[in-house]
Structure 1
Amino acid sequence: MLLTRLLPPFIPQTRPFFHWLDIVFNRVDEERRKIVGPDRSCAEWLLRNGAHVKWEHCNEFLTDYNKLPSDRIRLHLVEVYASEASIMHYGFDHFVGCEHIRKIIFHKCYHLENEALKGLTALKNSLLYLQITECLNITESGLIHLNTLNNLKELILADLPYIKEKEKILDKLQHNLPHCTIQFH
């Protein structure tokens, strides 16, 4: 009986264990990045978290982490397809130094939050196409970060339930991205 009085009361976790594991899989390993370069490091992060990547001069997406080419071969990422991927803002620093990514699709990325969209500024010189659909944690304050993507040609937004002032944010985006075609459903 004495032992039970010495133990603190049980406090349930406020976040599930897998959330913490997702954070670990999203962190940038700067040492690895120095060894293999930003594109390879970014591809490893994306694949590890369920996204698909396309290399320059390749026609198909790479979907299997175990089929990554040798880390001695330097390739450039050009496309990212993340559907139901567990990518989080903790990993968006992986995009720093990736100078060839032209297209990104985020679809049903439930861990994607406003803070992540700020990380896309690393791609402001290369990103031409961006789609954000059914990413339930995105709000107006996240979408406003897209204003820095000055080379963006096409932006697709849909099924973002926490966007309350759709016309207002659409006007802001269109004003700051005058050369971009924006679809907001």
Structure 2
Amino acid sequence: MLLGKLVQPACSLKKLSSPGVCRHFWGWLNAVFNKVDYERIQAVGPDRAASEWLLRCGALVRFQGYEKWQRDYNGLPTGPLGKYKIQAIDATESCIMYRGFDYLDGLEHVEEIKLCKCMYIQDECLQRLSQTMNLQKSLLRLEIISCGNVTDKGIIALQKLRNLEYLFLSDLPAIRERETTVQILKKSLPSLEVKLDLE
């Protein structure tokens, strides 16, 4: 990515040699990537705008009716407005954060989401996800892996995803009451299959 090649060396300069300064800079840049452009959503539709956001942040998307994952921002397919609908999101090691979640509101066909090693995903993100009306209807499978800021509170919030069929939870050190949390989910979502890989 050209931006990375231009910007990264700046952190090795003497005045930016402190790791804290680099982290602050990248946090700022990631926040810029997550800023919601409501005019863009209106202009190109929610699925295209959300695809651009997700790929800009390092996530992948798969469109309904297609097997191929979209990885390249510049390679997103073009076509009539609304032709490509997001069916699956793989946010592994991406920088998606709460401030960008408004992009999810207009998505009506998302069945699968994978959140793996997402440093900015926290309870508020899962609460926001579960309050998204379209996702409450469409989301069937969710994986949350190695997201260190997710606690029981965030997992319990997922009970609003009324059609969720499969939930995989792995390497979530902030989960303290896993049995109680799973029981709460199962009570609200009796048909939910929960798979745990938690210490």
Matched with 1:120 is 129
Structure 1 position 73, deviation (Å): 4.1
Deviations 1:144-168 (A, max 9, x none): 2101000000000111001111111
Over aligned residue pairs, what C-alpha RMSD do you find?
Answer: 1.6
Q: Which of the two has higher C-alpha Rg?
A: 1
CA–CA separation in structure 2 for the residues paired with 1:140 and 1:20? 28
Unpaired stretches in structure 2, ≥5 consecutive residues: 1-19
Matching residue within 177, 180, 185 for 2:192: 180
Matched, 1:80 2:107: no
CA–CA separation in structure 1 for the residues paired with 2:195 and 2:32? 34
Aligned-partner SS, 2:186: helix
Structure 1 position 17, deviation (Å): 1.5
CA–CA separation in structure 2 for the residues paired with 1:48 and 1:140? 29
CA–CA separation in structure 2 for the residues paired with 1:86 and 1:36? 23
Matched with 2:142 is 130
Matched with 1:43 is 51
Aligned AA for 1:56? Q
Structure 1 position 71, deviation (Å): 6.1
* 8 Å CA contact retained: 2:143, 2:167: yes
CA–CA separation in structure 2 for the residues paired with 1:158 and 1:93? 26
Aligned-partner SS, 1:184: strand
CA–CA separation in structure 2 for the residues paired with 1:111 and 1:141? 16
Matching residue within 100, 103, 106 for 2:112: 103
CA–CA separation in structure 1 for the residues paired with 2:196 and 2:35? 31
Matched residue pairs, number? 174
Matched, 1:60 2:68: yes
Unpaired stretches in structure 1, ≥5 consecutive residues: 1-11
User: If the length of structure 1 is used for normalisation, what is the TM-score?
Assistant: 0.89
Matched with 2:103 is 94
* 8 Å CA contact retained: 1:170, 1:184: no
* 8 Å CA contact retained: 2:118, 2:146: yes
Moved more, 20-29 or 155-164: 20-29
User: If the length of structure 2 is used for normalisation, what is the TM-score?
Assistant: 0.83
CA–CA separation in structure 1 for the residues paired with 2:102 and 2:160? 16
Structure 1 position 95, deviation (Å): 0.7
Matched with 1:9 is none
Aligned AA for 1:61? W
Structure 1 position 72, deviation (Å): 4.0
Matched with 2:168 is 156
Structure 1 position 70, deviation (Å): 2.1
